[in-house]
Amino acid sequence: MTVNEQPQAPLLEARGLTKSFVATQALSDVDFTLYGGEVHALLGENGAGKSTLIKVLTGVYRRDAGTILLDGVEIEPGNPRHAQELGISAVYQEINLIPTLSVAENIFLGRQPTRFGLLDQRAANRQARELLKAFHIDIDVTRELSSYSVAIQQIVAIVRGVDLSAKVLILDEPTSSLDRHEVEILFSVIRSLKKRGIGIILITHFLDQVYEISDRITVLRNGQKVGEHRTAELPRLRLISEMLGRELTDELSSQDKSRARTESEYEDFLEVRGFAHHGKIEPFDLELRKHEIVGLAGLLGSGRTEIAHLLFGIQRHDKGHAFINGRRINLSSPQKAIRQGFGLCPEDRKAEGIIDALSVRENIILALQAKLGWFDYLSLKRQRELAQEMIDALRIVTPDAETPVSQLSGGNQQKVILARWLVSNPELLILDEPTRGIDVGAHAEIISIVKRLAKEGKAMLVISSELAEIVDYSDRVVVLRDHKKVTELEGDQISENMIVQAIAER
C-alpha cells in the first residue's frame, strides 16, 4: 500500500541509498521521500537501518550508492555541519548541548560573533526569548540549561536546530525520557514547525505517539524499505507485522508445532511476584521451569531487556519478590543471581559479554572461577580441559583455546559466552537476543543449542526480536508492550499472528 504522489514536490528525496560496513549490509537500495510540512515516522526494530539512514542523510556516513535531492537539487552532505548548512538538522536523544551554559548561549553557540561583530549578550537573549516564544515557551533564557527539564532542553536543541536554517529536522527518539505532559509540549512545538513547512523525520518506538503526530510512515527492516504508508490508512496490526517481518495470514497457528514436551516434564524453578522497577517495567509475575523455554516478545523498548536485568540483579527491583522452592531469594546483584544458579548472555555482546583481550579459555572459565573465589584457582590443566570440552560441544570455531576472543566471529563469541555459563552449570539461562548480528549458519546452531539445553533440564528465558525464532523454540511466550507484561501464550496459542496481535492490542 504505497502512497500516491502528493501534489507538491518532495522536499527531500533519497533514491537507492546503499551503505555497507565490513560485515553487514546496513542499507540496501532504500528510497525515502519527505514532503515539506509533514511529520514522517521512520520505524523499525534494532538493526533495521534507521540510524544508518539518518547518518547518511546528515553526512556522518558516506553512502556507497544512491542519490539525495533536497528541493530537487542533488546534495552531498560531507559532515553534520555541512548537512546543517544545507538545511538538514538532527536532534538526538542525548542532547548535544552544553549544560552549564545559558539557554541563550546554547541557542547561539558558535554563531554569536558573526552576527554581532562583538558578543552582544543582550541581543542574543532577546532573540532567544523570541524564538522560544514562537513555540509558546516562556522561560528565563539567561539561566543555565541544566536547570531545566529534559523536555525544555530538548526543545532548546530543536530551536537551535531550526534556527540553523533547517528545512528538514530529524528527531531521534525525542520523547523517550519525557513524561506525558512534556510530550504534549514537544508535540505542540512539532505542530508549529509543520505549519512553517519544515519536514520532520521522527524516530520513536512509541507507536501511540506515531499515530498521534505523524502523517506518514516508512518502515525499515534489515536495511530495506518494507513499506511507506499514510498513517491514517495503516492499521496498527499491519504496522507491527511489517516491523517484525511477518506476513499476516488468516489461520491462527501458521506453523504446526509438534511439542514433544508435556506439562508433567516441567519442574518449577523460579517464581517472581510483582517485580517492578519504576519507570522501566511495571509489576509482573513470571514462573520459569526446568526443561521449559520461555520466549520474551515485544517491540524494542517494551521492557524485554529490563526484565532480564531485574532477574539477574543488574537493575535492582524496587517492588516484588522472587522465590525458589517457596524460599525467598535475594537478586540484588549479578553475584547473588549467579549464586542462585542464574546465567545471563547479555544483549550487547561486545560491551557486556566478552573480555576481548583475554583468551577463549579465560573467557570460558571466568564465571566459574568468579564463583569459586580467588583461592580455589582452577589449574591450567583443568581450565584447558573445560575450554576444549566446550569448544567441541558447542563447535566453537577458533584456532585454539589460547586465541584472544576478539579474533573470533560474532557467532563464535556468542558461543564462548554461552560456554562461560555452561561450565558453571546453571539452572536458569537468560539469553538476551542471542542470535543478533550472527551469520545464518551460527544462527541455526545457537537455536539448536537453546533447545538442547532445555532438554537437558535447564530453565531458559530467551529474548528475541525474531518472531519466527521465538515461535520455533518457545514452550511459552510472554508478550510485553510499553513496559508492561500484557499476556502469556501457551501451547497452540503460540503463533506469530497471536504475538503480533498481543503486541498491537491497546
Partner 1 sequence: MSEQLIPRLRNRVVDPRPGRGVWHSHRAVWTVLALLLILIANRLISANFFSITMVNGRLIGSLITILDGSAPIMLLSIGMTLVIATKGVDLSVGAVMAICASAAVVMVNRYEAGATEFYYTPGVIILLAVGLGALCGLWNGILVAVINIQPIIATLILMISGRGIAQMITSGQSPTFTNDTLAFIGRGVLFGLPFPIYLYLAVLIVVFLLVRRTALGLLIESVGVNARASYYAGINAALVKILVYMVSGMCAALAGLVIAGEVKSADPHKNGEFAELDAILAVVIGGTSLSGGRFSLVLSALGVLIIQSLLTGLYVSKLHPTANLVVKAIVVLLVLLLQSDEFRNRLTRLVRRSS
Binding site for partner 1 (CB under 8 A): 22, 312, 314, 334-335, 338, 344, 346, 351-359, 362, 366-367, 369-378, 397-399, 402-404, 406-409, 411-412, 420, 439, 442
Closer residue to partner 1, CB minimum distance, 60 or 358: 358
Between 336 and 484, CB nearer to partner 1:
336
Whose Cβ is closer to partner 1: residue 220's or residue 308's?
Answer: 308
439: CB partners within 8 A, 6+ apart:
409, 410, 411
Helices and strands (H and E) in the chain: how many? 17, 20
Question: Residue 318 Cβ, how far from partner 1 at the closest point, in Å?
Answer: 20
Nearer to partner 1, 5 or 374 (CB): 374
Which residues are registered as beta bridge partners of 43?
A: 219
Quote the least distance from Cβ 397 to partner 1, whole Å. Answer: 5
* Residues 393/403, Cβ–Cβ less than 8 Å: no
CB of 159 to partner 1, least distance (A): 34
Count Cβ atoms below 10 Å from residue 377 Cβ, excluding itself: 11
Instruction: Please report, in angstroms and rounded to a whole number, the separation of the first and last CA atoms in the chain.
Output: 24
User: CA-CA distance, 173 to 171, in Å (whole number)?
Assistant: 6
Q: Which is nearer to partner 1, 66 or 426 (CB)?
A: 426
CB of 273 to partner 1, least distance (A): 25
Question: Which of 246/277 has CB closer to partner 1?
Answer: 277
Q: From the CB of 353, what's the least distance to partner 1, in Å? A: 6
| Three cell numbers written together for 325 | 522452592
Place of cell 531521534: 172
Beta bridge partners of 296: 463, 478
Per the CB < 8 A criterion, the answer to whether 250 and 256 are in contact is no
CB of 9 to partner 1, least distance (A): 45
DSSP three-state, residue 70: strand
- Closest to partner 1 by CB, 51 or 412: 412
Give the helix ranges, DSSP H, for 176-258.
180-195, 207-213, 236-244
CA 194 to CA 30: how far, in whole Å?
Answer: 25
Provide the minimum distance between the beta carbon of 423 and partner 1 in the complex, in angstroms, as a whole number: 12
